[in-house]
Amino acid sequence: MKIRLRRTNESDLDFVLGAEQSAENRIFIGAWTREQHRVAFDAKDLSHLIIETIEGKPVGYVILAGLADANESIEFRRIVITEKNQGYGKQALRQIKKLAFEELKAHRLWLDVKEENARARHIYKAEGFVAEGVLRDCLKIENGYESLFVMSMLRDEYESRFINKQPSLRIAAPEDAEEIAAVLAESFAEHESSYTAKAYAATVPTVDEIKQRFGEEKIWVALSSDEIVGTVSIIDKNKALYIRSMAILPEARGNRIGERLLKEIENYAVACNYQKLSLNTTPFLKRAIRLYKKFGFVRRGAGDLFGTPLLTMEKSLKSAAKFKREMKK
């Protein structure tokens, strides 16, 4: 369900042309030749991107234009999603806004959309684009004329609505399983080569495995702009609260989400009278170890997960529980 954007290359052209020329899409968008797409790959003013799932399956493409525009006005020229009504379009729009305003430093992101393209107009409006006006009957078609709606978003609208917002935390539900699996996969991907294959598979569970966890575990998620950017789960283990599957997406790191998730767990553990928190990590997850140490975890021993070294860390909650009891007196 989660998607990412990457640059289009020669080997994607059959997919792009197939999507562009299919009957359900071509009534709503312009069409280019193979050569026009190819030229766009290297054009300074354009960005040609494939929209793909985390597993690398292409589900659409997008073209941005006006990257070198002196007015800092970037045109969102074309988007096609091949697997419709699964949320890919809205997710892609969020990433495009982020790219345009945060990386390309646009002042304005604009697009035009055919008046009768109700689905596209719906997602643009839902994602905060404002209607500027209608270019009435500006397109000549076989049996008449069509109008275009011009829509845009300005930098301050993007900033006030979408950034500088602290991610919110909540308890996860089984419907979140797919996104949680994607967050785990994306967050651990950079370390895959340090794990044995079996240990990596155990670290990055499948959607079904996550769904099964809901019976016995409590899972938290952190959300930013309605998207899950972090997760952690807990399970009761020998009178300790065992923490596992903690992950924050690379782009969401550095915002203290990890600390907030741990604090949430600690509050829960204290309320339930647990004596300690425990977890296993691996020696190469240095950033995570730093966070655990900062939060009061100490090393307790070493182990092994299918040939990958493990490090056990614990935090005693006795003092915290006692403190809470005293405060209640």
Ligand X SMILES: CC(C)(COP(=O)(O)OP(=O)(O)OC[C@H]1O[C@@H](n2cnc3c(N)ncnc32)[C@H](O)[C@@H]1OP(=O)(O)O)[C@@H](O)C(=O)NCCC(=O)NCCS
Q: Which residue has the tokens 């929209």?
A: 51
Residue 62 near residue 79 (C-beta atoms within 8 A): yes
> Which of 49, 50, 120, 265 forms a contact with ligand X (CB under 6 A)?
120
In the complex with ligand X, which residue's Cβ is closer, 223 or 248? 223
Residue 10 near residue 48 (C-beta atoms within 8 A): no
Amino acid at residue number 185: A
Buried residues in 307-324 as b, exposed as e (16+ CB within 10 A): ebeebebbbebeebbeee
Pairing mode, strands 240-248 and 276-281: parallel
| Count of other CB atoms within 10 angstroms of residue 169 | 16
Q: How far apart are CA 125 and CA 34, in angstroms?
A: 31
The DSSP symbol for 99 reads: I
Nearest-CB residue for ligand X: 89
> Which of 39, 126, 134, 163 forms a contact with ligand X (CB under 6 A)?
126
Tell me which residue of 267, 264, 309, 319 sits closest to 289, measured CA to CA. Answer: 309
In the complex with ligand X, which residue's Cβ is closer, 89 or 230? 89
In the complex with ligand X, which residue's Cβ is closer, 130 or 197? 130
122 binds ligand X per the rule CB under 6 A: yes
In the complex with ligand X, which residue's Cβ is closer, 31 or 189? 31
Per CB under 6 A, which of residues 8..27 are in contact with ligand X? Answer: 25
65 binds ligand X per the rule CB under 6 A: no
Per CB under 6 A, which of residues 99..118 are in contact with ligand X? Answer: 113, 117-118
Per CB under 6 A, which of residues 68..97 are in contact with ligand X? Answer: 79-81, 84-90
151 binds ligand X per the rule CB under 6 A: no
In the complex with ligand X, which residue's Cβ is closer, 126 or 272? 126
| Count of other CB atoms within 10 angstroms of residue 49 | 22
263 binds ligand X per the rule CB under 6 A: no
Q: Interface with ligand X by CB under 6 A: which residues?
A: 25, 28-29, 79-81, 84-90, 113, 117-120, 122-123, 126
